[in-house]
Amino acid sequence: MRIDIATLFPEICETYLGQSIVGRARNKGVFELYCHQIRDYAFDKHHRVDDTPYSERQGMLLLAEPIWQCYKAVVGERRPHVIYMSPRGKTLNQQRLKELASAGEDLFILCGHYEGVDQRVLDKLEAEEISVGDYVLTGGELPAMILADGVVRLLDGTLSQEDCFMDESHYSGLLEYPQYTKPQIWQDMPVPDILVSGHHANIMKWRREKSLEETYLKRPELLETAPLTDADRAYLSELRARYEDMPEFFNNK
């Protein structure tokens, strides 16, 4: 996969995506990353990339032409999937990350700034708008890095084992179970006995039940779409009975 990020701050994206697991994947050739300065494609001597919007709204809007020129120069004959990081978009979730990682398409990610970008270039690029949450940030760089990080870690070769992400929160539709490391007792708090028992089947059962419990207590709405077995549903019934005197956790569940 090749990922191109068009931004006014390419050094921010380069720095983050060149580190840790994602950086190692990039160095191994799992994916290619190129961060492009939109100002390099401005058409006046001052490299201006913004202007006032045609409305009474205050602020500045990114011009369509520099973005379009950047796109044409970067992609050539390729046709990557274009994503515009925007609070107007659908909220990013694990399912969309899996779809993007498995689609086999290159990505061209556009980072807005100021009040956003001229709508005409989004229409021209047929951009998918994606949000990372119901809030507004100064620019699209942080959301772009979140998207790229989330996609790259699902690509073959990024993580040493598939289990590294399959057990994580949201991948299976549930939140992840609690985890512990050494020492076995820390400040009089021991690791659960089951985890040091060496009994694989019991440990796997404990993990599943704890995932269900974490989801039920913290994000119960996820249970509406999570793939559940009959054993899962039976355990959830036990949880409802156990916590029935704590309605603050459940709202209308």
User: With 70 as the cut, is the pLDDT of residue 24 above it?
Assistant: yes
pTM above 0.75, yes or no: yes
Which 3-state string (H, E, C) describes 16-41? HHCCHHHHHHHHHCCCEEEEEEHHHH
Integer Cα distance of 223 and 217 in angstroms: 11
Give how far Cα 252 sits from Cα of 113, 244, 247, 248, Å.
Answer: 39, 12, 8, 9
Number of domains the chain is built from:
2
Residues 205 and 129 grouped into a single domain: no
121: which residues sit within 8 A by CB, 6+ positions away? 64, 65, 67, 68
Residues 148 and 190 grouped into a single domain: no
Residues 213 and 126 grouped into a single domain: no
Q: Where is the domain boundary, 103, 130, 152? A: 152
Residues 90 and 215 grouped into a single domain: no
Q: Where is the domain boundary, 111, 137, 152? A: 152
User: With 60 as the cut, is the pLDDT of residue 189 above it?
Assistant: yes
Structural domain for 240, as ranges: 185-249
Residues 119 and 200 grouped into a single domain: no
Q: Nearest-CA neighbor of 60 among 10, 115, 133, 122?
A: 115
Among the residue ranges 12-16, 44-48, 155-159, 203-207, the one predicted with the least confidence is 44-48
| Residue 198 in domain | yes
What confidence score (pLDDT) does residue 46 get?
85
Handedness of CA 3, 9, 15, 16 (dihedral sign): negative
Residues 237 and 191 grouped into a single domain: yes
- Tens-digit pLDDT profile for residues 122-175: 999 999 999 999 999 999 999 999 999 999 999 999 997 655 555 555 567 899
Q: Rounded to 5 degrees, what are φ and ψ at 29? A: 85, 15
| Residue 162 in domain | no
144: CATH = 3.40.1280.10
Residues 36 and 103 grouped into a single domain: yes
Buried b (16+ CB within 10 A) or exposed e, 63-94: bbebbbebbeebbeeeebebbbbbbebeebeb
Q: Where is the domain boundary, 127, 152, 177? A: 152
Give 57's strand partners: none
| Residue 175 in domain | no
Residues 39 and 142 grouped into a single domain: yes
Residues 44 and 136 grouped into a single domain: yes
| Residue 174 in domain | no
Residues 46 and 114 grouped into a single domain: yes
215: CATH = 1.10.1270.20
Residues 145 and 28 grouped into a single domain: yes
Q: What percent of the chain has pLDDT over 90?
A: 85
* Helix, strand, or coil (residue 7): strand
User: With 90 as the cut, is the pLDDT of residue 109 above it?
Assistant: yes
Give how far Cα 56 sits from Cα of 64, 87, 118, 220, Å.
Answer: 19, 21, 15, 42
Residues 12 and 136 grouped into a single domain: yes
